[in-house]
Protein backbone atom coordinates (compact mmCIF):
# COMPACT_ATOMS: atom_id res chain seq x y z
CA UNK A 1 0.00 0.00 0.00
CA UNK A 2 1.30 3.44 -0.93
CA UNK A 3 0.47 6.42 1.26
CA UNK A 4 1.50 10.02 0.62
CA UNK A 5 0.40 12.69 3.05
CA UNK A 6 0.87 16.32 2.03
CA UNK A 7 0.11 19.30 4.20
CA UNK A 8 -0.11 22.76 2.67
CA UNK A 9 -0.35 26.01 4.59
CA UNK A 10 -1.63 28.04 1.64
CA UNK A 11 -3.46 25.41 -0.39
CA UNK A 12 -6.95 26.45 -1.35
CA UNK A 13 -9.86 24.79 -3.04
CA UNK A 14 -7.72 24.20 -6.16
CA UNK A 15 -6.85 20.75 -4.84
CA UNK A 16 -10.46 19.64 -5.04
CA UNK A 17 -10.22 19.66 -8.84
CA UNK A 18 -7.82 16.82 -9.53
CA UNK A 19 -9.83 15.14 -12.29
CA UNK A 20 -7.92 13.70 -15.23
CA UNK A 21 -8.22 15.81 -18.40
CA UNK A 22 -7.76 12.72 -20.55
CA UNK A 23 -10.91 11.10 -19.17
CA UNK A 24 -13.78 12.24 -21.33
CA UNK A 25 -12.02 15.45 -22.34
CA UNK A 26 -13.03 17.20 -19.12
CA UNK A 27 -11.28 20.46 -18.34
CA UNK A 28 -8.87 20.01 -15.46
CA UNK A 29 -7.94 22.90 -13.19
CA UNK A 30 -4.36 23.02 -12.01
CA UNK A 31 -3.66 22.70 -8.33
CA UNK A 32 -1.85 25.45 -6.50
CA UNK A 33 1.20 23.18 -6.27
CA UNK A 34 1.21 22.65 -10.05
CA UNK A 35 1.10 26.41 -10.62
CA UNK A 36 3.93 26.93 -8.14
CA UNK A 37 5.99 24.25 -9.91
CA UNK A 38 5.45 25.99 -13.26
CA UNK A 39 6.49 29.35 -11.79
CA UNK A 40 9.62 27.78 -10.31
CA UNK A 41 10.40 26.11 -13.62
CA UNK A 42 10.00 29.42 -15.46
CA UNK A 43 12.44 31.10 -13.05
CA UNK A 44 15.26 28.56 -13.37
CA UNK A 45 17.45 30.79 -15.54
CA UNK A 46 16.09 34.04 -14.11
CA UNK A 47 13.27 36.03 -15.70
CA UNK A 48 11.19 39.15 -15.26
CA UNK A 49 7.62 38.96 -13.94
CA UNK A 50 5.94 39.15 -17.35
CA UNK A 51 8.04 36.34 -18.77
CA UNK A 52 7.30 34.06 -15.81
CA UNK A 53 3.57 34.90 -15.97
CA UNK A 54 3.39 33.90 -19.64
CA UNK A 55 5.40 30.70 -19.19
CA UNK A 56 3.35 29.64 -16.14
CA UNK A 57 0.09 30.74 -17.76
CA UNK A 58 -1.17 32.79 -14.80
CA UNK A 59 -2.63 36.28 -14.59
CA UNK A 60 -1.08 39.20 -12.73
CA UNK A 61 -3.15 38.77 -9.56
CA UNK A 62 -2.49 35.02 -9.32
CA UNK A 63 1.19 35.54 -10.01
CA UNK A 64 1.62 38.17 -7.29
CA UNK A 65 -0.11 35.94 -4.73
CA UNK A 66 2.12 32.99 -5.57
CA UNK A 67 5.25 35.15 -5.86
CA UNK A 68 4.78 36.57 -2.37
CA UNK A 69 4.46 33.04 -0.99
CA UNK A 70 7.55 31.86 -2.90
CA UNK A 71 9.64 34.83 -1.75
CA UNK A 72 8.61 34.32 1.89
CA UNK A 73 9.48 30.61 1.65
CA UNK A 74 12.80 31.54 0.00
CA UNK A 75 12.09 29.38 -3.04
CA UNK A 76 12.70 32.38 -5.34
CA UNK A 77 15.02 35.35 -4.89
CA UNK A 78 15.27 38.69 -6.65
CA UNK A 79 18.22 40.12 -8.56
CA UNK A 80 18.38 43.76 -9.63
CA UNK A 81 19.75 44.10 -13.15
CA UNK A 82 19.81 47.75 -14.12
CA UNK A 83 16.20 48.90 -13.99
CA UNK A 84 14.81 45.36 -14.15
CA UNK A 85 14.11 42.93 -11.33
CA UNK A 86 14.84 39.32 -12.21
CA UNK A 87 13.39 36.42 -10.26
CA UNK A 88 15.60 33.35 -9.90
CA UNK A 89 14.87 30.00 -8.31
CA UNK A 90 16.96 29.20 -5.20
CA UNK A 91 18.57 25.87 -4.32
CA UNK A 92 15.65 25.20 -1.98
CA UNK A 93 13.26 25.95 -4.87
CA UNK A 94 15.17 23.58 -7.17
CA UNK A 95 14.92 20.86 -4.57
CA UNK A 96 11.16 21.36 -4.26
CA UNK A 97 10.76 21.37 -8.05
CA UNK A 98 12.79 18.16 -8.38
CA UNK A 99 10.74 16.44 -5.70
CA UNK A 100 7.49 17.63 -7.25
CA UNK A 101 8.56 16.26 -10.66
CA UNK A 102 9.61 12.94 -9.12
CA UNK A 103 6.31 12.61 -7.27
CA UNK A 104 4.31 13.53 -10.36
CA UNK A 105 6.23 10.98 -12.44
CA UNK A 106 5.69 8.30 -9.82
CA UNK A 107 1.96 9.02 -9.63
CA UNK A 108 1.60 9.08 -13.41
CA UNK A 109 3.36 5.72 -13.63
CA UNK A 110 1.08 4.29 -10.96
CA UNK A 111 -2.10 5.66 -12.51
CA UNK A 112 -1.19 4.52 -16.02
CA UNK A 113 -2.42 1.05 -15.09
CA UNK A 114 -6.20 0.99 -15.56
CA UNK A 115 -6.92 -1.15 -12.50
CA UNK A 116 -4.43 0.61 -10.27
CA UNK A 117 -5.53 4.27 -10.13
CA UNK A 118 -4.86 6.13 -6.87
CA UNK A 119 -7.76 7.41 -4.84
CA UNK A 120 -7.61 11.02 -3.68
CA UNK A 121 -9.46 12.00 -0.56
CA UNK A 122 -9.46 15.59 0.73
CA UNK A 123 -9.53 16.39 4.41
CA UNK A 124 -8.74 20.04 5.22
CA UNK A 125 -5.97 21.14 5.44
CA UNK A 126 -4.27 17.80 4.78
CA UNK A 127 -4.47 15.88 1.50
CA UNK A 128 -4.33 12.10 1.65
CA UNK A 129 -3.33 10.25 -1.50
CA UNK A 130 -3.94 6.54 -1.12
CA UNK A 131 -3.33 3.74 -3.59
CA UNK A 132 -5.24 0.53 -2.96
88 phi, psi to nearest 5 deg: -130, 140
CATH number attached to the domain at 2-131 = 1.10.10.10
Task: Let me know if 117 is exposed, middle or buried by CB neighbors in 10 A (0-12, 13-18, 19+).
Answer: middle
What pLDDT digit, counting tens, does each position of 56-100 carry? 999 999 999 999 999 999 999 999 988 999 999 999 999 999 999
For strands 2-7 and 76-81, give the pairing: unpaired
Query: pTM above 0.85?
Result: no
The vertex-14 CA angle with 13 and 19, nearest 5°, equals: 120
What pLDDT digit, counting tens, does each position of 18-55 carry? 444 445 556 778 889 999 999 999 999 999 999 999 99
Amino acid sequence: MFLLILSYKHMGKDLENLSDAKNGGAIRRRSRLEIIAEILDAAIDGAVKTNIMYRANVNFIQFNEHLQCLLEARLIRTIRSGRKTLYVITEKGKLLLDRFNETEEMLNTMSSKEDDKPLIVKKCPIIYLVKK
